[in-house]
Chain A
Amino acid sequence: MSVLAYLIPISLFLGSVGLVAFVYTVRSNQYDDPEGDSRRILNDDWDDKPRPD
């Protein structure tokens, strides 16, 4: 059962990575325009060169 000493911290760590990632997406306004963001990826305006700004 000594494997628990590693597995529990690892599972908690992985879970908290997910939590932190979610908190980051909320804080950086990534849910403000879900519909627009899913469409923008189809836009070919800046396919050849990056947007200048």
Chain B
Amino acid sequence: MTVQPRPSLAACPACVAAPQVPVEAPPTEARLALSLPGIHCQACISTVERALNAHPAVHSARVNLTLKRALIEAEPELRAADLIPVLAKVGHEAHELDLAALATTGSDRAGRDLLMRLAVAFFASMNVMLLSISVWSGASDATRDLFHWISAAITFPAVIFSAQPFFVNAWSALRVGRLNMDVPIVLALVLALVTSLWETALSGEHAYFDAALTLTFFLLAGRYLDYRTRAVARSAAEELAALEVPRALRLGDGGAQEVPVAELAVGDLILVRPGGRMPVDGEIIDGQSELDRSLLTGETLPVYAAPGLAVSAGEVNLTGPLTIRATAVGEDTSLHRMADLVAIAESGRSRYTSLADSAAKLYAPGVHILSALAFVGWYLWTFDIRMALNIAAAVLIITCPCALGLAVPAVTTAASGRLFKRGMLIKHATALERLAEVDTVVFDKTGTLTAGTPQLTNLHDHATENLAVALALAEASAHPLSVALARAARDAGIAAADVQQIAEVPGHGTEGMYQGRVVRLGRAAWVGAVQGRQTAAWLDVGTGEAKPFLFTDALRPGAAEAVAALRAAGKEVLLISGDTVGAVEELAARLGISKWVAEALPDEKSARVQKLTNRGHKVLMVGDGLNDTAALAAAHVSISPASALDAARVASDIVLLGQDLTPIAEACSVAQKATRRIRENFRIATLYNVVAVPLAVAGLATPLIAALAMSTSSITVSLNALRLR
């Protein structure tokens, strides 16, 4: 952009004389976003804003309490990682958000657009209603004509602007030769406007301008509710994705450099620190460590990693730093190839027809036929085309799916809102309806029923001295088993023994000198023991055989309750895991699940889900790993925890935001209640039609009756939906 001399707009001579401040600053500002899950009050807002604004590199910071987020304008070299400790110091937890993944601004335009149309429809319908009430209460002759003409002048532009979404939808359905809910709506609107205008021109008694506008308003309200529900879910899902900022350490000439994962190329050398996740598929060329593959395969046992081993994106490096050479990046990684499986599985699900669609399929042709019959019948009876057209319009308006348009969105909004408060995010529009039909629940083990953190089981099998040595060795390592061992030993009141020269041998364990002997804590093969069926770390104190510390996976909070509640509700519960037979059997026994499958490969998982579906079961799949994605997509409806891989979250319909699994059982019952309410709403709407349609066909319907039927049915339906909260 070229900088042009700006003309001075100042009016006073002193301002002209004063040196002009450059108004347009060069765009050096980095936009950063932080997620602040803990903020909840006005004091939090000011603490966070003051702390951020006090940082020298920050230009301005603003907190959004509704989204629990802070947006920061700052110097380009400032990183979110520099600000997180600043906020930690004032007592606020913060996480970096990837701004590229937060594309809410674009989609929010659609919501704003709908809101604008809703406002115009409301304004116009209220004004026309005022005029119509005067007509109904007895305005006649020239006054009535005047009121009708003013109503027409308000209604035409308002409907043309506000009802655009219906026109567009109806046209796109008609173009491919289908009928949807919008076709009768548009037909009713057009017919009502045309006949009303004709009547007005002939100084007629009945005009349906108010009905056309109220119809538009109620239907738009339904659309807006529907949009809001999905926008809330989408923005929360986006936030989950944005919390994983994809960066990697690329080794170049000047040492390691942090780059976005998207910039990595095949052949790049990448450093993966302990605790880090593999950004790409590759081969280890340097370093020794252990890998946690549980998110990909469901195995809980860490795998030994040495140069030459192939690694896949998504695996977690546990102990030592590894250098890998990228063999596949971006779309080609095994993580992304899984998307093909998901796409195949999803094609089966798209066959589901929502309740609203099936209602529309019955409803739309019925209304058209009824209205056409009324027209033909009255025309043949009286040969008065004006009267026949009037009656046809009245039939269409009275039967118009005003309440039907509100029936589903009002219920799903209320139900989603209630479940969101309990920590469940309903991502898919028809997820609730499908959840209500579920009779079989399939759980994944690792990371879903279990928390993925190991728990020591045989502390009391060991002598206190050995425990003291093990504690000293375990404290020197960040390996999950060591951390769990150290925690368990400290809780039992053990003090660490005086072990000298402790060193971690990446990929094997830790060793040190104790009373002149070499002591080791680590993998079975390293200390000369044989690995059993259970996850174990082995302690060798140099006197006799190595002894195992056995671990099980800690249960996720609420796992037992969720399984019990689902079984109590008469659902069949299955456990399908990629982990070893021993581990799965033990967990199944602990939770009382009688049907389980171990060592299942990803396509086996989805095949089993498919088989259950073919046998007529409606399957709910709960899983978190990459090996679950195909099964998640193949199931009738699916849930994944927030800790799941991005791919799994995308494939599932519902995301569980907290750690606790208990809401799953509640969600099923809420979904059943919601579906019951939707059906009730359809029945209420039909009942109003059954009462009003004979009047309309008989030619007895007045605009007043139309307005009353429409408003009362819409309000009853909305109130019925609110009972869910």
Contacts and interface: CB of A to CB of B under 8 A. Distances in A.
B46 interface: yes
Contacts of A19: 119-120, 123
B505 interface: no
Contacts, number: 51
Given A4-B143, A35-B65, A43-B42, A15 B127 contact: yes
A22 B65 CA distance: 22
B81 interface: no
A23 B46 contact: no
A36 interface: yes
B123 A15 contact: yes
A33 B67 contact: yes
B380 interface: no
A9 B359 CA distance: 43
Contact of B66 (A4, A15, A26, A33): A33
Interface in A28-42: 32-36, 39-40, 42
B708 interface: no
Contact of B127 (A4, A12, A34): A12
Interface string B208-232: 0000000000000000000000000
Interface residues of A, number: 23
Given A11-B127, A36-B64, A23 B143 contact: no
Contacts of B131: 8
B284 interface: no
Contact of A33 (B46, B64, B130): B64
Most buried by A among B64, B66, B116, B146: B66
Contact of B116 (A1, A4, A23, A40): A23
A18 interface: yes
Nearest to A53: B60
Contact of A8 (B41, B46, B115, B150): B150
Contact of A32 (B60, B66, B120): B66
Nearest to A1: B143
B112 interface: yes
Contact of A11 (B41, B46, B67, B130): B130
Nearest to B126: A15
A18 B45 CA distance: 32
Interface in B60-80: 60, 63-67
Contact of B115 (A18, A26, A53): A26
A8 B441 CA distance: 63
B291 to A, nearest CB: 43
Contacts of A53: 60
A36 B63 contact: yes
Contacts of B123: 15-16, 18-19
Contact of B119 (A8, A11, A22, A45): A22
A35 B120 CA distance: 26
Given A4-B143, A8-B150, A11-B127, A36 B45 contact: yes
A26 to B, nearest CB: 6
B130 A35 contact: no
Contacts of A40: 42, 45
A4 B130 CA distance: 13
Contact of B65 (A12, A26, A39, A45): A39
A32 B64 contact: yes
A25 B168 CA distance: 27
A34 B119 contact: no
Given A4-B143, A36-B63, A26 B116 contact: yes
A4 B143 CA distance: 9
Contacts of A36: 45, 63-66
Given A12-B127, A32-B66, A39 B112 contact: no
Contact of A45 (B46, B64, B67): B46
A34 to B, nearest CB: 6
B337 to A, nearest CB: 39
A42 B127 CA distance: 38
Nearest to B150: A8
A36 B595 CA distance: 49
A33 B49 CA distance: 15
A39 B64 contact: no
B112 A26 contact: yes
A21 to B, nearest CB: 10
B127 A35 contact: no
Contacts of A15: 123, 126-127
A41 B434 CA distance: 44
A40 B41 CA distance: 9
Interface string B97-127: 0000000000000001001100110010011
B42, B120, B143 — which one has the most chain A CB atoms within 10 A of its CB? Answer: B42
Contacts of B42: 39-40, 42-43
A13 to B, nearest CB: 11
Contacts of B127: 11-12, 15
Nearest to B120: A19
A39 to B, nearest CB: 4
A23 B119 contact: yes
A53 to B, nearest CB: 8
A4 B65 contact: no
A24 to B, nearest CB: 11
The 6 A-B residue pairs whose C-beta atoms are closest, nearest first, are: A36-B65, A39-B42, A35-B66, A19-B123, A33-B64, A42-B42
Interface of B: 41-42, 45-46, 50, 60, 63-67, 112, 115-116, 119-120, 123, 126-127, 130-131, 143, 146, 150, 154
Interface of A: 1, 4, 8, 11-12, 15-16, 18-19, 22-23, 26, 32-36, 39-40, 42-43, 45, 53
Given A12-B154, A22-B119, A36-B64, 15 more contacts: A1-B143, A15-B123, A19-B123, A23-B116, A26-B112, A26-B116, A33-B64, A33-B65, A33-B66, A36-B45, A39-B41, A39-B65, A40-B45, A43-B42, A43-B45
28 contacts: A4-B143, A11-B127, A11-B130, A15-B123, A15-B126, A15-B127, A16-B123, A18-B123, A19-B119, A19-B120, A26-B112, A26-B115, A26-B119, A32-B64, A32-B66, A33-B65, A33-B66, A35-B65, A35-B66, A36-B65, A36-B66, A39-B42, A39-B45, A40-B45, A42-B42, A43-B42, A43-B46, A45-B50
